[in-house]
Structure 1
Amino acid sequence: YRWSLLYVFALFICGTLNLAFGIKWNQMIWIDDRNFPGGPNAFVSIMFSDPINVTSNAAYLTGNILADAFVLWRCFIIWNSNILIILFPVLMFLGTFVCGIFVMVQTSQPGANLWTRVTVNFLIPYFSLSIALNIIVTLMIVGYLFSHRRSIEASIGKQHAKQYTSVIAMVTESAALYSVFSIIFIIAYGRNDPAQNLFLPALGQVQCIAPLLILLRVAYGRAYTEATS
């Protein structure tokens, strides 16, 4: 489980940096530079490429890549290491990675922000691919566990199978928590709804929590593995 510890550490670092620098960024917006000409909105638009905010965004994107990669790995394990099954999700993951790099580079430019046309052209595909990836993988994992529910119960007993086939187990195993938050955010962002400002900061933490919940099940021996199948 050495790799698990390294992964948890990396995810923890990403989540912590995203939260810490995000808090500092909000302090700058609403407290330190409250009297910026044009107010907080102008400050965000003009100073979005500030190193504090860039660091927070970089930590978020890195955490997102780690989280998506982990969910892909879980899908691979649950589907009995079938490479063909995850081929399409892997391509989506690569697309997410590339779009994320472009978003990071673009938002680091002076005067750029999340709402400039060039950034939006990459940001919406980035979130759309990431969300679609998580939804597809979530459905694949839940679908497999649900369709093999009877065989799992037959092989290890109905009582013991509950830890793999219960609603809570399937939601946790599939990282559905992150998928739900992502969908809400992308809808709010696409509509330019202020609610996006509520879900975006939480998204950075939820994407770290979802894989950790799965790893917790692995540590307790409750996660679905190749041996289970």
Structure 2
Amino acid sequence: MIYNSSWAPDEPPDVLYAEKTWLQGALLSNIVYGVELALFIMCFKLLVRQMNRTNRRRHLILLVFISVLFILGTIFVYSLSEFTQLAFIEQRNFPGGPSAYENDMFWIPVDELGVAVWVIGNWLMDLLLVWRCIVIFSALPGVPIWAVVVLPSILFCASFSLGVLFLVKTSHSSPYGSPKFTIIYFATTLALNVMVTVFIATRLLYYQRRARTVFGGMHLPHYSNLASILVESAALYSIFSILFVVPLALNNPLGSVFLQALGQVQTVSSLLIIYRVARGRSFPGDESVQLSTTQRSAPEIRLGHMPSVRSSIFDMGNGVKGDTHKEALPNGGVMVTHEVISDESRSVV
């Protein structure tokens, strides 16, 4: 079909721009929901497959957690879809158009349902981040855990209280009706996420440096790259929060795009963390303690100056005989094992 400018609605450009942002935000939210669905299935399968007697309780808790997150995300998508349908189809002749309907009728039950599940999901994600912060810093010697989590805990309590007030206010108005309070609430939850993001990223970067010192650049752990740092710290949600709060403070309708996607983005961020935990690729406490207390004593390892334990081996099938040596570093932190096979044609070190 050929586009004809005469078919365009007789509305001011700013009104059309506002309507575009509301509609594009709903579409973006549904796209992110597809990612959320895929991650939920992957996490659920991994947690069930790897469940055993030793980790049964932990995996059951994680299964309940991701199930609640997914249910909340699904309810949010339903609420958003129904509200968008009302604004753009069923109530399209509302004075001011669909964008005015979305602003003025934000309080109706079908949309308030989405706001409620979004706030609950936000609380759950904040709790998850505080928990990850505790796990990652609990293995750091010399640093009391309360010194790390006291500020995030205070911000979480403030975010929880403001979230309750946000639900009360949006039950009879729009977030845009009280922009100052909305900015305060989102700034508080954003401050919590940014603070935890900085804490976790700093800790993982420190761990990366320690791993590079001990193992060298060729054997860095899988949780020391940039992608894992961004996942562990839920930086994706922090970025989307900034993209919403800044346009809101500037009274720019562009914030509507990111507002509608925030609910799904926070669920995706949480599921990415759980997925790393389920795969066993999350930040491990034991290795953190070992790396934090291990120092490399010399730029090269001199095997001749180390105590060794020698055991003779003999392969009856191949007639290969050799020696296995286990050398311990002077600081006791690293064990080097090498094997020399006394075969005429090959040697393994």
**Are the aligned partners of 2:201 and 2:233 in contact in 1 as well (CA < 8 Å)?**
yes
CA RMSD, Structure 1 to Structure 2 (Å) = 1.7
1:5 counterpart (63, 71, 82):
63
- Structure 1 residue 227: deviation in Å? 2.4
- Aligned residue in 2 for 1:84: 147
Structure 1 residues 138-153: aligned runs within 5 Å: 138-153=197-212
Q: Over alpha carbons, which structure has the higher Rg?
A: 2
CA distance in 2, matches of 1:189, 1:209: 23
- Alpha-carbon separation, structure 2, partners of 1:139 and 1:95: 19
Q: What amino acid does structure 2 have at the position aligned with 1:211?
A: S
> What residue number does 2:169 align with?
106
Flag the 1:9–1:44 CA change in 2: closer, same or farther, 3 A.
Answer: same
**2:118 equivalent in structure 1:** 60
Equivalent position of 1:167 in the other structure: 226
Q: Deviations over 1:163-200 (max 9, x none)?
A: 11111111111111111111111101111212111111
Q: Distance in 2 between matches of 1:156 and 1:10?
A: 40
Greater fraction of residues in strand: 2
The CA distance in 2 between the partners of 1:52 and 1:95, in whole Å, is 27
Residue pair 1:141, 1:174 contacting (<8 A) in 2 also: yes
Instruction: Give 1:182's aligned residue.
Output: 241
Does the CA-based 8 Å contact 2:244-2:259 persist in structure 1?
yes
Asked if 2 retains the 8 angstrom alpha-carbon contact of 1:75 and 1:141, the reply is yes
Task: Provide the residue aligned with 1:51 in structure 2.
Answer: 109
Pairs aligned (count): 225
Q: In structure 2, the residue corresponding to 1:181 is in which secondary structure?
A: helix
**Quick one: distance in 2 between partners of 1:172 and 1:179?**
11
* Moved >4 Å (runs of 4+): 153-160
Structure 1 residue 92 displacement after superposition: 0.5
Shift, 1:102, TM fit? 0.5
Identity %, equivalent residues: 36
Selected match of 2:278 from 205, 219, 225: 219
Provide TM-score, normalisation by structure 2: 0.61
Distance in 2 separating the partners of 1:20 and 1:190? 28
Question: Residue 21 in 1 paired to residue 82 in 2?
Answer: no
- The structure where helix makes up a greater share of residues is 1
